[in-house]
Chain A
């Protein structure tokens, strides 16, 4: 007997994931995401050693899939007549994409938990739990742990800076509970480098 056809993730989610199936295009996405700043087609082509047209093709495909945002700006500070056409710039989109089969919705659950924690005023208990969770991960190098948790760490002199907040969505609705737990999670007493936040 065949049950009800399961709901697949949204068409847009599938499209976003499919756009990353191509390894070259994935490298383009990773490069733009790691840059932090908006990049031009030329900058991406040069960094990855590919042709400008190919870079443009992949960048536009990623933008179409909702993974990159597009803006226009004149580069090199030139302006006014003779400055030429503004360059098309690409940066990682802030839109979140989740693909899960069978469907999972931990975000909704996280919001319910955060509501309960704030209503009951038990944030200190949450921070303790987060610190414990962080301690369990402490056997590995700090950079690897931060990377696996989705912080996108990068070294800046003597500190690790974090490019991404993996809890951004819930952090916006419940900053007290979530940002505090976030910090406790990364508290590592014997860490040679201290983690600094950059969001």
Chain B
């Protein structure tokens, strides 16, 4: 199951994670998901108006798994600014 969304800024994504009903669901995620021991979420910058594809998401996740957080594929925890 893949969840892919585009946000204006990391701060906007944070705001959603922290301050919306999303948090209530996030807290219960172990009712539905088990960790599988590898990076499962990745963040990267896209040009305005660009709608990323599932293929792109897969590539970025692979990149994160291979090289750790870089400006091309990073995490919430180790963010990089838009270049």
Contacts and interface: CB of A to CB of B under 8 A. Distances in A.
Interface residues of A, number: 18
A179 B29 contact: no
Interface in B34-78: 34-35, 37, 76-77
Nearest to A118: B35
Contacts of A174: 77
Contacts of A119: 35, 37
Contacts of B77: 173-174
Nearest to B34: A121
A171 B35 contact: no
A53 B33 CA distance: 59
A172 B35 contact: no
Contacts of B34: 121
Given A171-B18, A199-B18, A199-B19, A176 B27 contact: yes
14 contacts: A119-B35, A121-B33, A121-B35, A172-B14, A175-B17, A175-B18, A175-B23, A175-B26, A176-B26, A176-B27, A179-B23, A179-B27, A180-B26, A180-B27
B23 to A, nearest CB: 5
Interface string B1-24: 000000000000010011100010
A199 B76 CA distance: 19
B32 to A, nearest CB: 11
Contacts of A122: 30
B29 A176 contact: yes
B14 A123 contact: no
A127 interface: yes
Nearest to B26: A176
Contacts of B35: 118-121
B68 to A, nearest CB: 14
Nearest to A181: B27
Most chain B C-beta atoms within 10 Å of own C-beta, residue among A118, A119, A171, A176: A176
Interface in A121-174: 121-124, 127, 171-174
A120 B34 CA distance: 8
Contacts of A173: 76-77
Contacts of B23: 175, 179
A176 B14 CA distance: 12
A183 interface: yes
Contacts of B33: 121
A123 B19 CA distance: 20
A180 B27 CA distance: 5
A12 to B, nearest CB: 24
Contact of A123 (B17, B18, B29, B76): B29
